[in-house]
Amino acid sequence: MYRYGAGALAIVVSVVVFIVPFAFIVLVAAMDARQAGEFSFAWPREPQVWQNLTDVVAARDYLLIIAFINSIVLTVASVTFMVVLGSMVAFVLQRRTTRFTGFINFLVLAGLIMPPAIVPTIWVLQRLGLFGTMPGLILVEVAFGLSFTILLFRAFISTIPRELDEAAVLDGAGPLRLFFRVILPLLRPVLVTVVLVQSVNVFNDFQTPLYFLPGDAGATVQLTLFNFQSQNLSSYNLLFMDILLITIPPLVLYLFFNRQIVAGMTAGAVKG
């Protein structure tokens, strides 16, 4: 009885925390400007979904379309570097122990614990000539997400028997061939998890593009939220329509790949 009660309570909490806010976003996105300004949880009196959608897309010379393109480029490039670098570093850390391994593990954990240093990072990017550019922002996203990626890959690699490495080496495989032909195909469960989780993190990142890529030319989807807010007036119907459009891609990913995410998270929990 207690188990069913706890399950029912979890469902109620999930509905309140996730479903109700999302329903509120959908309702306000369909309202006209006057009703949206009331900020009430109510059915739209005069639904204008299509009008709000076209206004949001056309705002500031179709900035939302440019922002979606920028976010896709940023997400694909950043996650690709995270997967390649994170998996290779994790493989070396798991398979090879040297006197520097402890220090490198400390740096990896520090990347999770320490908050991002915005001003020093901007100074470094300025000296490299990468501040305010997409490559510079990609490097920052990779640096911020690499520690989590390494830990996930390393936990999964620990479940892969070393005998596979030894057999590949005896067959004449070099380090790169050993990793890309033998180890990497076995990382598919955790690789899917890393790609999905980090894609959502980068796509939804608001703070990093705000600091490291200012200006409309490099705007990402999260920064388009400023389009419908000002000091004296806020178009809440357009703002919530923008939020709805931004929310749909990550929501679809989680709905369709939820099982893969959970499987990848737990794959390296028990070493076999």
Query: Which domains are seen in the chain, by residue range?
Result: 63-236+243-266 (1.10.3720.10)
Instruction: State residue 79's pLDDT score.
Output: 96
The residue that leads in pLDDT, 20 or 70, is 70
| Mean of all residue pLDDT scores within the chain | 86
pLDDT digits (tens, 9 = 90+) for 159-179: 888 888 888 888 888 888 888
- Which of 112, 186, 179, 192 lies closest to 147, judged by CA? 112
Place 124 in a pLDDT band, splitting at 50, 70 and 90: very high
Q: Are 155 and 268 in contact (CB under 8 A)?
A: yes
pLDDT per position as a tens digit, 184-229: 888 888 898 899 999 999 999 998 998 998 877 788 999 888 877 6
State yes or no: pLDDT of 125 exceeds 70.
Answer: yes
Between residues 259 and 209, the one the model is more confident about = 209
List pLDDT tens digits, range 47-98: 899 999 999 998 888 899 999 999 999 999 999 999 999 999 999 998 888 8
Backbone φ and ψ of 153, nearest 5°: -65, -40
Q: How far is CA 3 from CA 7, 9, 10, 213, in A?
A: 6, 10, 11, 49
Q: How far is CA 146 from CA 25, 82, 150, in A?
A: 33, 6, 6
Say if CB 227 and CB 63 are below 8 A apart.
Answer: yes
- Residue 154 CA to residue 146 CA, distance in Å, equals 12
pLDDT > 70? residue 269: no
